Amino acid sequence: MDKAEGSSGGRRSYARVGRLMAVLLIGASLAACAAATGTPSPIDRPTPSTTASPTPEPTPTASPTTTPGFSPTGSMTTGRESHTATLLSDGRVLIAGGYDRSTGWPLASAELYDPKTGSFSPTGSMATARWDYTATLLPDGRVLIAGGYDGSTPLASAELYDPKTGRFTATGSMATTRTDHTATLLPDGRVLIAGGYGRSTVLASAELYDPRTGSFSPTGPMATARELHTATLLPDGRVLIAGGFGESPYLASAELYDPKTGSFSPTGSMATARELHTATLLSDGLVLIAGGNDSWYSTTSTSFASAELYDPKTGSFSPTGSMATARSYHTATLLSDGLVLIAGGTDGSTWLVSAELYDPKTGSFSPTGSMTTGRAFHTATALPDGRVLIAGGDAFPSTASAELYQP
C-alpha cells in the first residue's frame, strides 16, 4: 500500500461505520451512568442516513452581551454539532454543515452570525452535506471547505464560499478522501491539508490547495499517519503537527512541516500521548496543548486535565499547569489580552458547562464564568470586538443555542 495512506498491517484499519459503532458503544456505557444522574450521554451518535432539509427562517435577534462572563445570544436556525465556524473579513461568522442528532442527518445548510445584531440568518447551502471537515479563510475572503464525512463515506470534494454572493461553488477535489484531518493557511496563501481518515485507514498523506489554480497537489507525506491531531502555524511559517490517533493507537509524537522544502520532519514528543486535544499559538510564540483523551473509540478512555507547552526554538515540549477539569471535545480560544479561554467539552460522563482561563505569565489555569449550556462538539470564534461566540454542539440533541463570552 502507498506510504502516504499508511499500512493496515500494524494499524487499526477499521471502516468509518465501525468507528461509529464504537462511538455507540461508548454512548451506551455513558448512558448507563446518565440514567443514574439524569444527564444524557454526550457521545452516542446514530449513523446519519440522508442529506439535510432546507434551513428554516431565522430566529429573532438577541442583543449583544455587555457584561463579563457568558450570556445568551440569538440561536442558530438549525441545531448542529461537529460543524465549522469561520470569522469572515467583514466580522460576521460563517457556520456551516455539521450533524443534526435529532434527525440523524449530516447538514448542508449554512448560516451567518452578525455580532452587530446578535442574530443568525441563512445563507447558501453547501453542495454536499458533511461533518468532520475543515473550513479555512483564504486571503481573498473566500472560505475553503474540504473533505469530511457525508454519512456513508469520507469525502475528497471541496467547495468555496464567497461572502459577496452568499453561495458555495465547487473547486478542485483532493487526491485522497479524508475526514478528521487538519487544514492550515500558510503565509503564501496556500492551504496545507494533513492526515485524517480515508476509506479504510489512517492517513500520512498531505496535500496543498492553491487558491490561484483551484487545485490540490501532493506534498509531504508526514512521518506518522494520524487523525484527530492538531496543526498550528508557527511564527516562522512552519506548521506543528501534534498527537492524534494512529498506529500506537494514540500518539505523543509531533512533527514540523516546512513550506520551503515541502517536507515533514520529527520534533520533540509530548509528555502525554493524546487526541482530541487543543493547540493554541500564544502571544510569545509558544504553543499550548491542553486536554484530550487516550482513545475516543474505547469504553475505557480517559480525558486529560494536563497541559504542556511547545517551544519552537528548542523543538521540545515542557509541562505547564493542569486544568481544573479533565476534558476533550472542548475549545481553546486566544483572547485579545493573551489569555486562553477553554470552554465546555466532556469529561467522559457529562457535558461540561465549566470554562477556564490559561495565563501564560503564570503558567496556570483559573475558573471563569460557566456557560449557560453544557456542550461538546461546539465551536468557539474570537470576534473583532474581543468577545467569543460559542455556537451549537452536542447537548442531546444537537443544540441551536449560542452564547457570547465577554472577557
| Integer angstrom CA distances of residue 98 from 78, 109, 129, 155, 303 | 10, 9, 8, 14, 23
Residue 319 has which C-alpha cell?
509541562
Average pLDDT by consecutive 10-residue portion of the chain (407 residues)? 31 36 40 40 35 40 60 97 98 98 93 98 98 98 98 97 98 98 98 96 98 98 98 98 91 98 98 97 98 73 94 98 97 98 94 98 97 97 98 93 98
233 SS3 class: strand
Rounded-to-integer distance, Cα 281 and Cα 277, Å: 14
Rounded-to-integer distance, Cα 292 and Cα 289, Å: 9
Residue 14 is predicted with a pLDDT of 35
For residue 182, the cross-strand partners are 194
Q: Comparing C-alpha atoms, which of 1, 9, 5, 7 is closest to residue 205?
A: 5
Q: What is the DSSP letter of 297?
A: T
Rounded-to-integer distance, Cα 172 and Cα 213, Å: 9
Q: Residue holding cell 509524537?
A: 253
The answer to whether the beta carbons of residues 277 and 295 sit under 8 Å apart is no
The answer to whether the beta carbons of residues 64 and 120 sit under 8 Å apart is no
Which residues, at least 6 apart from 390, have a Cβ–Cβ distance to it below 8 Å? 70, 331, 343, 344, 371, 375, 378, 379, 380, 402, 403, 404, 405
For residue 118, the cross-strand partners are none
Q: Comparing C-alpha atoms, which of 176, 147, 177, 142 is closest to residue 160?
A: 142
Residue 297 is predicted with a pLDDT of 55
- How big is the chain, counted in residues? 407
Q: Comparing C-alpha atoms, which of 30, 129, 80, 81 is closest to residue 377?
A: 81
**DSSP3 helix / strand / coil % (the chain, rounded to 5):** 5, 35, 55
Rounded-to-integer distance, Cα 396 and Cα 374, Å: 10
Q: pLDDT tens across 159-217, in order?
A: 999 999 999 999 999 999 999 999 999 999 999 999 999 989 999 999 999 999 999 99
Residue 57 is predicted with a pLDDT of 41
Residue 302 is predicted with a pLDDT of 86
Residue 199, class by beta-carbon neighbours within 10 Å (0-12 exposed, 13-18 middle, 19+ buried)?
A: middle
322 SS3 class: coil
The answer to whether the beta carbons of residues 124 and 161 sit under 8 Å apart is yes
What is the distance between the terminal CA atoms of the chain, rounded to a whole angstrom? 50
